Structure 1
Amino acid sequence: MSIEVCNESGISVDESLIASVARFALDAMHVSPAAELSILAVTEEAMSELHERWMEEPGPTDVMSFPMDDLADESRRPDAPDPGPALLGDIVLCPEFAKAQARAAGHSLADELHLLTVHGVLHLLGHDHAEPDEEREMFALQNQLLTRWRTAREQEAAAEAQRRSDSAVLGVVGLEDH
């Protein structure tokens, strides 16, 4: 799976963690490993232009999703060759706009960007929140994916800390044996 993250926002963001949460969500949703995703962080001005052009709403917003290819092409013949990489779409984030939301929610900008990335991925996969039932379903899935990703990251960090500790102990024990 190819995920490209480009930050043109002028605000420092951890691009590797944004790619990580996107990859986790796509894997959890069983998206083809041949999929390609582009994530772009932009200024409020650039987001305003996109928001007005594509949604016909004034001002900036936090995240927009632009789906491209349909990864579930049921019309293909069963004996057709596997298609090449499919462009899932683009997610556009606006860190400057997201800052206020992060403050209001009582968490960091990084946490808000991770949430918005998962939100954007779900939109690319056809989820919506226009109706109350859709909103409950989409936001529950979003929260579940974020919780699972954070838990996986914590477990990876704990395992790495244990490996470092084990290496330090084994290194010291190994020296004492000589």
Structure 2
Amino acid sequence: MLTIEILNEQNEAISDEALALIETSLQAAAEAENVKGEVVVTLVDNERIHELNRDYRGVDRPTDVLSFAMNEAGEGEMEIFVAEEDFDEFPNMLGDIIISIPKCKEQAEEYGHSFERELGFLTVHGFLHLIGYDHGTAEEEKEMFGLQEEILQKIGLTR
């Protein structure tokens, strides 16, 4: 089970149905991968995601979704030793997913499917990046996109 916080930092209101869809998509993805932890989803406009994409990825244009993983192993990784009985006090913070709502709407129209399908896709895509999936090679892409499709079908978001 995931703990999910959703922040709406854009000017447009988000329906309760869309918020519930984000939660359902994340819980289904977490269940499929047997992952527990905390995720923060921030809904933004194209201007804000453009700024983040430029500052953190060096790509000077808006994008649809960005993921900032908190648990990536690598250089500078710290090991924290916690007594087993205190473990629950240290939640597994998976990271942040940033979704551009205007880009989501544009792409839904462009791809000829619903806003809900696109929002679910971007949510699951962002989550899979948080837990280590990538699509840099054809093999990685096949694995990640296949898993995304399974998760989306499980919650009824078909093309």
The interval holding the TM-score normalised by the smaller chain is 0.7 to 0.9
Counterpart-to-counterpart distance in 2, 1:114 and 1:79: 36
| Structure number, greater radius of gyration | 1
- Return the offset for 1:15: 1.1
Query: RMSD of the alignment, in Å?
Result: 2.4
Partner of 1:57: 59
| RCO higher in structure (CA 8 A, sep ≥6) | 2
What amino acid does structure 2 have at the position aligned with 1:89?
A: G
**1:85-96 to 2 correspondences below 5 Å:** 85-96=91-102
Cα shift readout 1:69-89 (whole Å, capped 9, x = no counterpart): 359x99969967535212110
Counterpart-to-counterpart distance in 2, 1:137 and 1:76: 34
**1:131-142 to 2 correspondences below 5 Å:** 131-142=137-148
Tell me whether 1:4 sits opposite 2:5 in the alignment.
yes
Cα shift readout 1:3-59 (whole Å, capped 9, x = no counterpart): 011112233432121111111111221012xx1100000011100000001110011
Partner of 2:154: 148
Counterpart-to-counterpart distance in 2, 1:140 and 1:121: 14
**1:5-84 to 2 correspondences below 5 Å:** 5-13=6-14, 14-32=18-36, 35-69=37-71, 81-83=86-88, 84=90
Partner of 1:128: 134
Q: Percent identity at matched positions?
A: 36
Other structure's SS at 1:141 match = helix
Number of residue pairs aligned between Structure 1 and Structure 2: 148
Counterpart-to-counterpart distance in 2, 1:74 and 1:108: 44
Counterpart-to-counterpart distance in 1, 2:83 and 2:32: 25
Of the structure 1 ranges 103-112 and 137-146, higher mean CA displacement relative to structure 2 is found in 103-112
Runs (4+) off by over 3 Å: 73-81
Other structure's SS at 1:82 match = helix
- Return the offset for 1:65: 0.2
Tell me whether 1:107 sits opposite 2:108 in the alignment.
no
Q: Where does the alignment leave 5 or more consecutive residues of structure 2 unmatched?
A: none
Q: Provide TM-score, normalisation by structure 2.
A: 0.83
Counterpart-to-counterpart distance in 1, 2:24 and 2:11: 21
Q: Where does the alignment leave 5 or more consecutive residues of structure 1 unmatched?
A: 152-178
Q: Provide TM-score, normalisation by structure 1.
A: 0.75
The structure where helix makes up a greater share of residues is: 1
